[in-house]
Amino acid sequence: MIRFRGVSKLYPPDVTALKDVTLSIMPGEFVSIVGQSGTGKTTLAKLIIAEQRPSKGRVIIGDWDITDIRSHEIPILRRQIGVVFQDFKLLPRKTLFENVAFALEVAGASRKKISSVIPQVLKIVGLENKMDRFPREVSGGEQQRAVIARALVHRPKILLADEPTGNLDAINAHDIIELLRKINEFGTTVVLVTHNREIVNMLHKRVITLDQGMVISDQKSGRYIL
Amino acid sequence: MFFLTFYRALRFAFQGFWRNIWLSVVTIIILVLTLFSVSVVAGINVVGREMVKSIENKVDVSVYFFPTVSDSDVESVQYRLESLGSVASVTRVSKEEALAQFKERHKNDPTITESLNELTDNPLGTTLIIKAKKIEDYPLILQVLDDPDYQKLVQNRNFEDNQKIVARLSDISGRIQRGAIALSAMFIIISILIIFNTIRITIYTHREEIGIMKLVGASNWFVRFPFIIESLLYGLIAVAITLILVFPLVQLVSPQLQSFFQGYSFDLAAYFTGHFLMFALMQVALATFLSMASSAVAVGKYLRV
Ligand SMILES: Nc1ncnc2c1ncn2[C@@H]1O[C@H](COP(=O)(O)OP(=O)(O)O)[C@@H](O)[C@H]1O
Ligand SMILES: [Mg+2]
């Protein structure tokens, strides 16, 4: 599903964010990527959605080698990967419903499809009663659930979550992780980037540990080891 | 698909406009200020040009011939002058007309009237009144009269007195034009600074939005289109407001100008109405160019995510 082959990423002039990373994630897996801050976790996530290009090595999503992806193909890639980031990226001038709808509208979905899919995904994340509010009118946890709902509208094969609980308290964080687990049970590959020890230890899923841009451990049912 | 995208872009543009009404208002105010200052400079230019024209119109040079000079000699001088490209018109005042005019002017002066009555012959010669196309051309035109053949014929010419006035007027008209250019330059610099700032505001407010849109898979056009329409909206509203502001101003200034121009008919209000369409179109072009260019720069900068 996701394959990195000898991937390095340099940020000029002299930051090496990733060093010779090779890993592969199978369809339907739930993988946590852990490590201290500044070890290249976000860089790894950005390589998956082609927000950054590798300096060396290849990145392959499904059958698609996106190492040298053309810029007009990037929207197509991104509609297949649901993305959830730490700083809840919702459009501030749109309601929750409109934010979720936007992801479908960019792909040219019909109004009929939009009006049938969105209530469904908002129900999955438990926001069916708040869909006409603006982001500033709901809590952080609810914003993050809206982001997840938006990530789900394309029925993506991959859900990529970079520190989705970073700005949330323990209870909200727990809810979000449960939501991700539920989505994974529907068959979506979930890649969770985090440095939250309790969450990782509670999940009992595969854990890939990064340190200074290198993979230092990859365990089937792992724990947070740093 | 195309109409759906277009419809959505339109809807997003109006949403963006209303939901960010303060930024919309600020942007429109800035555009109005720019358009208004450009309009004022354009107005000053028009008025200045007309003022110079009206002054130039009042200047002429009279050439007085000796009473003994024959009509055919005068005619040949007149013909020579009229053949010059820089001469607008040459009017001939015959001896009789000159005398009549002289008498008319001095009818309240008994000594002059009496002494004139004592004369049997007309003491005045024919006069040619020369109008040049441009005020700077007088010295060159009058050089023709320095021709030795003509010098014998010409008794006097009022250019030497006029010369000082003409020099002063050329100087004033030059100054008006230089002033207008300096003022225009100043306003253009101010406008550029303002526009630059608008771009920065636009970048600041849209930076994050554009990144998010791209992250959920929006193509560049899907991101760009609503912003373009939104800025078009700013431009059109700004033009409407500017026209509403300029119109009463013109009505107010026009009568003042008319009394100032005295004798030279120049109606700014009529000029404005006459050129209204062109004026409005130029404003629309300028406003949409400014707002669209600034948002294009702002959006383009963040499209490469
Ligand atoms: N766009 C960038 N330009 C330059 N350096 C960057 C950029 N993004 C990240 N870095 C650097 O790369 C390293 C890894 O960053 P990141 O991938 O964000 O780590 P993490 O997500 O694990 O905290 C850090 O040293 C960071 O400062
Ligand atoms: Mg990070």
Structural domains in chain A plus CATH codes: 1-80+157-178+189-226 (3.40.50.300), 85-156 (no CATH)
| Interchain CB distance below 8 Å, B215 and A49 | yes
The first and second tokens of residue B288, run together, are 């949409």
**Residue of A91, A95, A96, A112 for testing the chain B interface, max B β-carbons within 10 Å:** A91
| Interchain CB distance below 8 Å, B219 and A91 | no
Q: At what angle do helices A170-185 and A140-152 cross, to 10 degrees?
A: 10
Q: How far is A69 from chain B (nearest CA, A)?
A: 13
Residue B103 — pLDDT band, cuts 50, 70, 90?
confident
Q: What ligand is nearest to the CA atom of residue A39? A: 1
Facing residue for A108 by CB, picked from B4, B16, B208: B4
The answer, yes or no, to whether residue B302 has pLDDT greater than 80, is no
Q: What is the pLDDT of residues A149-193, one digit of tens each?
A: 998 888 889 999 999 888 888 888 888 899 999 999 989 999 999
pLDDT at B305: 57
Nearest CA in chain A to B3: A108
Q: Which residue from A4, A14, A33, A43 has its CB within 8 A of the most atoms of ligand 1, so it is best to mutate? A: A43
The answer, yes or no, to whether residue A226 has pLDDT greater than 80, is no
- Averaged pLDDT of chain A: 90
Phi-psi region of A155 (alpha: psi -120 to 50; beta: other; left: phi over 0): left
| % of chain A beyond a pLDDT of 70 | 99
**Nearest CA owner, ligand 1 atom 6:** A11
Residue B64 — pLDDT band, cuts 50, 70, 90?
confident
**Residue of A49, A51, A93 for testing the chain B interface, max B β-carbons within 10 Å:** A93
Cα of A18 vs centre of ligand 1, distance in Å, is 9
- Chain B residues 118-177 within an 8 A CB cutoff of chain A: none
- Averaged pLDDT of chain B: 79
Cβ of A15 less than 6 Å from ligand 1: yes
Cβ of A64 less than 6 Å from ligand 1: no
Beta strands in A144-205 (DSSP E): 158-162, 189-193
Q: How far is B220 from chain A (nearest CA, A)?
A: 8
**Nearest CA owner, ligand 1 atom 8:** A43
Query: Coil, strand or helix: which one is A175?
Result: helix
Nearest CA in chain B to A101: B216
User: For the complex shown, is ipTM > 0.85?
Assistant: no
Q: How far is B272 from chain A (nearest CA, A)?
A: 41
Ligand 1 atom with the smallest distance to the CA of A213 is 14
Count of residues in chain B:
305
Q: What is the pLDDT of residues B215-260, one digit of tens each?
A: 777 788 888 888 788 888 888 898 999 989 988 888 888 887 777 6
Domains and CATH numbers, chain B: 2-55+170-302 (no CATH), 67-152 (3.30.70.3040)
| Interchain CB distance below 8 Å, A51 and B305 | yes
Cβ of A143 less than 6 Å from ligand 1: no
Residue B5 — pLDDT band, cuts 50, 70, 90?
confident
Residue B65 — pLDDT band, cuts 50, 70, 90?
confident
Rounded distance between C-alpha atoms, residue A91 and residue A215, angstroms: 34
Q: What is the pLDDT of residues B171-182, one digit of tens each?
A: 776 777 787 778
Element (H, E) at A33: strand A30-34
* Residues having C-beta closer than 5 Å to ion ligand 2: A 42
pLDDT at A210: 93
| Interchain CB distance below 8 Å, A105 and B8 | yes
Cβ of A37 less than 6 Å from ligand 1: yes
- Chain B residues 167-226 within an 8 A CB cutoff of chain A: 208-209, 211-219, 222
pLDDT at B105: 78
Reduce the secondary structure of A190-222 to three states and give it as a string: EEEECCCHHHHHHHCCEEEEEECCEEEEEECCC
Cα of A142 vs centre of ligand 2, distance in Å, is 21
| Interchain CB distance below 8 Å, A72 and B218 | no
DSSP A57: E
Q: How far is A226 from chain B (nearest CA, A)?
A: 31
**Residue of A48, A90, A94 for testing the chain B interface, max B β-carbons within 10 Å:** A94
The answer, yes or no, to whether residue A23 has pLDDT greater than 90, is yes
Question: If you average pLDDT over residues A61-69, what whole number do you get?
Answer: 93
